Structures are given as structure tokens and as C-alpha cells.
Structure 1
Amino acid sequence: MALMPFTDSMFLLVESREHPMHVGGLQLFRKPDGAGDDFLRGLREDLLKADDVPPLFLRRPARPVNTAGYLAWTQESEIDLDYHFRHSALPQPGRIRELLELTSRWHGTLLDRHRPLWEIHLVEGLQDGRFAMYNKIHHALMDGVSALRHMQSTLSDDPDDHDCPPPWGTRHESREKSAQAPRSVVKTLEQLAGLAPVAVKVANEAFREHTLTLPMQAPRTMFNVPIGGARRFAAQSWPVSRVRAIAAKTGTSRNDVVLAMCAGALRDYLIEQSALPDAPLIAMVPVSMRDKTETESGGNQIGALLCNLGTDKADAAARLTTINQSMRDAKRIFKELTPIQALLLSGLNVAQLGVSAVPGVVNNTRPPFNLVISNVPGPRKQMYWNGAHLDGIYPASVLLDGQALNITLTSNSDNLDFGITGCRRSVPHLQRLLLHLDTALSELEAAVA
């Protein structure tokens, strides 16, 4: 048995029927030219013969039914791949609607802790001839960004490459990431010693200059309630060229435009539900704080920024201006901090989520923010899996008490692929957000024309 890192243990500890703690994703593929009706069955049979399963995909809690299950991992000696890699068919008429309903059901069910904590579903029966794959893996094993990167590692940019690994496999030998040599104690103490001036600066920006959004400023909304275990999932793609054009005309970033799309959609959705608050919604936005000139060897530089979405403004251009200014102010503060200081400020932005499962907390406190909107880099080229053309990558995320809605998107060649995860009880008619996202993008285009 291997001792479990504290972060892994916490994801297992907080999981319950109401709070499944796995991340997932839905991929859409077009079969290779000339592929017959037995393409998927043959592909699955071939992949099940793969006996080289990476250690991560053999890992399960050492004692699934007691507290020791939160303390140590063990490796499965013989994995039942036929259980983990399943073949399913959609009910007729096999529309995207049926696919999303099935994905919603799968995403709301818990993983079996007596087995390695992942499942993959190969899905046929779409009326347009395409097929899909839904995968989920426990957050204790892999976070959403890592899961997306792993999925990309199994793809190829060559349509004639029919030797791609299975979704649980890898093209390269797995290497345990060696921990980077810790910074010297003196350097760390110097950074910690600078926290007092940092606190003064943050307070000045927030309370005197009014340029920084802090936790607990978000209004209470229909999304900030205790949640149930069932999920709804919705997904759609938009051309990245449309977002890029708006960003170029307004001097904003593409992520600002994406946030403005989400803001417009949330505003329209909440108006439909007669639930739009007077104060603007606040989004938690995971953002890379790495300078564009830095290499990837610089370590983890991710900030949890809070963004004013300007949902109190009816004008699309005004919302984009508010979002751009809010993100610029937050990034400016973060760039002036050391890595440790930035990490601690990020922790302040999300700290309340750690106690959201305590009874009464969600109903009796203001939310630290209203929802998470995450933009994760995806493949820049057109990708294929064993000759099948990848049409879409739609992330499915974790929800917590007080956070009944999550919007995560990823770039995919020429598209932006949105995956929206919601609590089935708390967020009715989730698919309406897709229509509102499309409307919001059109309004932004009209506003800058």
C-alpha cells in the first residue's frame, strides 16, 4: 500500500451520493471512410486485448468501506477491463438530445471504490452515423486539466494512424513526475514575510480603489444552494474565429469574450427564471499566471481569480468592458506577487468551498462566488482516434454545495467546445443556456460591428 496524499484523501472524504467527485468528458467522433457497422465492436475488442495498463488506472482505495480507504492506495493485481470499458447504444431516434440525457445519467452516478476509479463508455446509435465516448475518472486520481491532457495524448493528428492507444493507455512510458527541488527555506521565509505588505495592498485595492473583487461579494442566486446527486449536462461548439474577431476589435482577450458570452447567457437565463439579482454575478476563473515568454518548466502558476460578470448591465459591450477591467485588475495584482503569495490569495478566493458541506453553511452565508467558468487549452490541430475524426470535446465537471452550475470549455482545432454541468434539481432547463450562449455571441458581434 502507498500512503495517499492529503489532496487525494480529501476528494474521497467529501464524496457522497449528493456530491460525486469525478471529472469527465464527452467526445464526438466521425468514423473513418469506409468503416462498416462492426467498426466499434471490432475496435473495442482490439483495445481490450491491451494488457499494458498504466499504474494510475490500477489504483483504488486500500480499504474502500472504512476510514483507511482515505489514507492509502493499493494496486489492482488483475483489472476487469470489460467492466471499465463499456459498449452502449442510444435509444431511438439517436439524437444529440438522447446522448446528452445518457451522459447526464452516467455523470451523476458514483464510481465503485472496490475497483480502480474510472469508467469509459463507447456509444453508438447516433442517427448521423457518428459515435461518442464518455469517460469519467475520480478527482482523487486526476483533475480535469490532467484528464484532458491524458485524453489528448491518446489521439493522433494523422488520419491514417490506426494504432492509437486505448483511452486508459498512453503513447509513452509513464514517468512519475519527480518533485522539483524545494526552494530554499530562506527564500520561502522571505516570501512569507512579504505577506503583510501584500495584505495591505490587496485591502487597498479592494476597499479604497475598488478595483479588486474579493470573496463574499457575490449575490445569492438560484445556483448557490445545496445540491442533489443527479446531474444535467449540455454541450455545444462555436467557431473560435468568431470569438477571435470580437477580441481583436475590442482590444480584449479571447477569454474575456468567452466570459462575456457566459455573462449574457446567464443574464438571459436568470431573467427567464425571474431570478436575476440586482448585483452582478461573480465567477471564479482559473487562469494561468505564467508569462508568455516562460517555458513549462516554471512550475505550477495557476491563479483562482474572481471576475465581475457585469450581469446587472443590459448592454453586451458594457458587460465586456466590465469583465475586461475586472480581469485586468485581478491579473495585475497576481503578477506583482510571488508564487507562494499568489497561491495563498487564490486559496482565499476559494476557501469557503472547503466548508460548504457543513450543514447550514450554504443557506446562511453569502457565496464566495456564483459559479466556476474554466477555459482549458485543448488540441490546436485536427485530431483523430484510430482513424476516427474528432468532432468535439465537451468537459463535464464537479459540482459542490452552493455551486450548482459549472461552465467549462476547451479549444479544439477551429472550435470552442462548451460543456455545462448542472444540478438536475436546482438548474431546470439547463439546455436553454446553449441557446442563450449563441444569442450572447451574436449580441457581442452586433455591438462591435
Structure 2
Amino acid sequence: MPVTDSMFLMAESREHPMHVGGLQLFTPPEGAGPDYVRSVVETMRSHVAVSEKFGRRPADPVGILGNTWWSDVDEIDLEYHVRHSALPQPGRIRELFQQVSLWHETLLDRHRPMWEVHVVEGLEDGRFAVFSKVHHSLVDGVSALRYMTLALSPDPNDREGRVVWQPGLGRRKRPAPSELETKGASKGLLPFNPLDTVKQVGGLTGEVLGMLPASLKVVGTSFRDHDYMAPFQAPNTIFNVPIGGARRFVAQSYSLDRIDEVRRKAGATVNDIVLAMCGGALRAYLEELEVLPDRSLTAMVPVSLRKEGEEDSSNAVGAVIATLGTDLTDPAQRVTVIQDSVKAARKVMGELSPLQILALSAANIAGLAPGMLPGYRGLTRPPFNLVISNVPGPREAMYWNGAHLDGVYPASIAWEGQAANITICTNNRNLEFGIVACRTAVPKVQRLIHHLEDALSELEKAYA
């Protein structure tokens, strides 16, 4: 098991579940009868063949060897992994969120493959929901959403009923051996060649030697450029405290057309407007609780570093820290300071190599590491106040077995010292916000949904 996977198992405790989740809402196809949701469950359970990734668990003894080695499971109990539930009356979205909160706070069983799917009926509007959760040691949030999207279809007449655990889902055609040798892309398929390794290390030498001056450049920028946000400049808030094991989950969809109109008038990016929405909502929420700090909150966010017209590149993304302008009352001014903050971070990273960008991003993310240690108590300011991330979702209307996907809401991880997480997902012409928070540290988290709508309305008025 790679160390990057095992660390999520080692860090997990009752107070710190380390799985990612997602809630999907579906409208049944026309003519669906009262037993339709049951047929959904039966269709899912009929996929008895399970891929290698979803058919393994931590090795025995669980908690020792299991933190470092995977064990294949011979037979998967799909009645355990695919569960059929119904909401209590009146079956509102509120009841659905309450149920998802309970599912999301419970640990996955390490004696089985670490994933669950809950199919939920009983919503008052006739829709049904699917809540999935997978341990972070198996997939991250982006990969989990990718699997979900691959199981869907843009064709409403597609009745294949694919599932995320079926073998070969999204598998790319394997290149010919000669191509593997040419590209050096054969992970586990080619013999180990020490000479190749020496060449790779030699190629990295210049990058490594450039780390120190690159680091000094970043430090110098943090002193000179007041727009550039470095770690540990955030104020202490109710989000930056030790957390318990109970969770709250809330979610909401917002029209991408509304956000795009504000973006166009403000001369900003969608990401800038999303951060301004979050900043306005967090300001109103903390002000309502009478715990708003004078200093602006900051967030760790992923930012595209591609220049205009540049081809897509997996290396052109960095994790930066941005201000949220929570110390400002004017929504337009909030957008401006967020733009300046993100531009300052992009400017710094634009002068670095891909490897140096990765190192700087890792340094920003490293602020989460102490929170993976049970019992951690921060002795300094938090590195940032919360994580606000976005994951790519479907870009067009999608269906599962004829049912229309109405919404897909991410459910991420709350960390020690990071009691709230906001993750945004694209879905056709909507942006779907999913908020996960510690139930004790972050009271009345559902108020954030209302404040997000208010913040977007204020931005629309500011740029009318």
C-alpha cells in the first residue's frame, strides 16, 4: 500500500473518519412504478463482479499490517455494501440531510472493502437519492466523482445500469509494449531499470537545487506583497478547534448562469465569485453568532495556473491560500481583494517550475497534517481557516438507468483544527455546494446555505 494511502488509515479515529462521500438526487423515468427504487437496488446488487480497487480491504491484523498492505476479498456481500433505506415523513430534503449526516460520521468496516452505497426512497417530491462513501485510502474526492460520472450516461434511454465497482469502468486501452517502453509509462509492467532511475534523478537535480532560491523568493514575496497570503496568517475562529465525531451535512445548488453573469460584469473568474460567495456567507454566519474576527478568514483552494490559450496540463494546478474578504461589508470590494490575493499567488507560482509548484502546494497543504494526529492542539494561528475546493462533475444532463441526475453534492472530510469543509461540484448548468462540519463546533450549519444565497444576491445587486 502506498504511504500516501496508508496515512489516511493511520490517521483515522472515531473522531476523524477518513472517507469521502457524495449525494446524488434523481428523478425516476416517466412511467416508473412504486417499486422502481427497489428495482434500482436489485440492479446494483446484480453486479456481482467487483473491480480490484473496490474488492480489497486492509490486511489482517486490522490496524497494524492493515495500514501498510491490501488484502483481496474473495466474495463481496453486496447486500451489506448496497443498502436500501426510506426517509421518515414528511420526507423533506431536511430529513435526507439528517440521514446523510449520520451515515457520513460513521466509520467504514475495515474487515470489508471500505465503501457503501445507500439508495434512499421516500422523498416527498417523488425523487430518490443515492449516498455513496469510499475511504480516502482507496480514492480521493476527484476520483470518486469520476467513477460516479462514468457510471452515468447522457442518453436517457440507456438502461445498462452501470455501477462504480464493476470491473473495467473507465479503463483506458492499454498501449502496446513498444509504446510503454518508449514513454516509460509502464507501472509494474516493465522490469526495474536502475539506469532509468539514475537518469530520472539526474533530471530532477536542477529542480531540487532550485528549491532553496524558489523558497526564498516566496518568503520575500510574502513580506513585500500584502495581497499574497502565506500559511498561518489566518485568525482563530470556531472552525479551527478540536472536533468530535458527529457531523452535519447540508447542500444546495446555485445556477451557473447567475454566477457567470456576475463574473462577466466583475471581470473575474467563476472561482473568484465562488470565493466571494463563501466569504460573504461566512461573514454573515459568524456575525450572526457574534464571533466574527476583525481579520479576514483565509481558505486553501486549488487554482488553475494555466496561461490563457495554454493547453490543459495536469501540472498546471496549485494549492494556494486566498483571503475571503470577511472583514469587508462591500461585496464588490470583497471580489477585488479576492482577485488580488489569487493573482498574487498565481504570480508567485507562475515563476516556478512544475516540481517547485508541487512543493509549494504541498507546503500549503501541510497545514492539514497536524490535524491528522489525534489529540492535536494548535499552538499557533491556523494555517488557514477552511478548505474550499472544487471537483469537476458532469458538463451535460446525465442519467442512470433512465433516471435524470438532478443534483450531485460532495461530502468531504472535516479535520482536527478544520471543523468545516466546503466542496463545490459542477453539474450541467449548476454549481453544487456540499458543506460538511463538526456538529459540535459549527452550530446551525444549515444557515450557511441561506447566507450563500444572500451573498450571491448581494453580488448581483452590486454589479447590476
TM-score norm. by structure 2 comes to 0.92
Residue type of the alignment partner of 2:201 = V
Question: In structure 1, what is the equivalent of residue 128 of structure 2?
Answer: 131
For 2:59, which of 43, 59, 62 is the aligned residue?
Answer: 62
Question: In structure 1, what is the equivalent of residue 447 of structure 2?
Answer: 432
Post-superposition Cα deviations, 1:381-421, rounded to whole Å, max 9, x if no partner, equal 00000000000000000111000000001110011111000
Question: In structure 2, what is the equivalent of residue 239 of structure 1?
Answer: 255
Q: Does 1:418 align with 2:415?
A: no
For 2:264, which of 228, 233, 248 is the aligned residue?
Answer: 248
Contact kept, 8 Å, 2:13 with 2:374, in 1: the verdict is no
Q: Does 1:215 align with 2:212?
A: no
Residue type of the alignment partner of 1:96 = I
Distance 1:364 1:212 in 2: 23
Shift in Å at residue 374 of structure 1?
0.7
Any idea what SS the aligned residue of 2:120 has? strand
For 1:151, which of 136, 148, 165 is the aligned residue?
Answer: 148
Contact kept, 8 Å, 1:154 with 1:170, in 2: the verdict is no
For 2:354, which of 339, 343, 358 is the aligned residue?
Answer: 339
Contact kept, 8 Å, 2:151 with 2:169, in 1: the verdict is no
Any idea what SS the aligned residue of 2:382 has? coil
Post-superposition Cα deviations, 1:291-332, rounded to whole Å, max 9, x if no partner, equal 565556x44443110001111001101111000110111112
The equivalences for 1:355-370 within 5 A come to 355-358=370-373, 361-370=376-385
- Comparing 192-201 with 24-33, greater Cα deviation is found at 192-201
Question: In structure 1, what is the equivalent of residue 103 of structure 2?
Answer: 106
Distance 1:152 1:127 in 2: 26
Q: Does 1:81 align with 2:78?
A: yes
Residue type of the alignment partner of 1:169 = Q
Shift in Å at residue 379 of structure 1?
0.9
Paired residues, number: 445
Residue type of the alignment partner of 2:124 = Q
Residue type of the alignment partner of 1:67 = I
The equivalences for 1:200-349 within 5 A come to 200-291=216-307, 293=309, 298-349=313-364
Distance 1:78 1:95 in 2: 37
Distance 2:201 2:418 in 1: 38
Distance 1:147 1:350 in 2: 20
Against the structure 1 CA distance between its residues 247 and 100, is the aligned structure 2 distance closer, same or farther, given a 3 Å change threshold?
same
Any idea what SS the aligned residue of 1:120 has? strand
Post-superposition Cα deviations, 1:127-168, rounded to whole Å, max 9, x if no partner, equal 000000000000000000110111000000001111131242
Shift in Å at residue 71 of structure 1?
1.1
Contact kept, 8 Å, 1:165 with 1:171, in 2: the verdict is no
Q: Does 1:115 align with 2:126?
A: no
Against the structure 1 CA distance between its residues 326 and 178, is the aligned structure 2 distance closer, same or farther, given a 3 Å change threshold?
farther
Distance 1:64 1:306 in 2: 40
Residue type of the alignment partner of 2:392 = P
Shift in Å at residue 343 of structure 1?
1.1
Residue type of the alignment partner of 1:272 = E
Contact kept, 8 Å, 2:228 with 2:345, in 1: the verdict is yes
Unaligned runs of 5+ in 2: 175-184, 189-195
Shift in Å at residue 46 of structure 1?
2.6
Any idea what SS the aligned residue of 2:292 has? coil
Question: In structure 1, what is the equivalent of residue 424 of structure 2?
Answer: 409
Post-superposition Cα deviations, 1:315-361, rounded to whole Å, max 9, x if no partner, equal 10111100011011111211221111111111211223212244664
Question: In structure 2, what is the equivalent of residue 96 of structure 1?
Answer: 93
Distance 1:291 1:171 in 2: 35
Any idea what SS the aligned residue of 1:306 has? strand
Residue type of the alignment partner of 1:281 = L
Against the structure 1 CA distance between its residues 359 and 173, is the aligned structure 2 distance closer, same or farther, given a 3 Å change threshold?
closer
Shift in Å at residue 178 of structure 1?
4.5
Contact kept, 8 Å, 2:43 with 2:161, in 1: the verdict is no
Against the structure 1 CA distance between its residues 179 and 34, is the aligned structure 2 distance closer, same or farther, given a 3 Å change threshold?
same
Q: Does 1:186 align with 2:199?
A: no
Distance 1:48 1:285 in 2: 37
Against the structure 1 CA distance between its residues 184 and 329, is the aligned structure 2 distance closer, same or farther, given a 3 Å change threshold?
same
Against the structure 1 CA distance between its residues 270 and 126, is the aligned structure 2 distance closer, same or farther, given a 3 Å change threshold?
same
Distance 1:89 1:360 in 2: 37
Any idea what SS the aligned residue of 1:257 has? helix
For 2:15, which of 1, 14, 18 is the aligned residue?
Answer: 18
Quote the sequence identity (%). 55
TM-score norm. by structure 1 comes to 0.95
RMSD between superposed Cα atoms in Å: 1.8
Against the structure 1 CA distance between its residues 251 and 198, is the aligned structure 2 distance closer, same or farther, given a 3 Å change threshold?
same
Any idea what SS the aligned residue of 1:434 has? helix
Contact kept, 8 Å, 2:150 with 2:170, in 1: the verdict is no
- Comparing 283-292 with 52-61, greater Cα deviation is found at 283-292
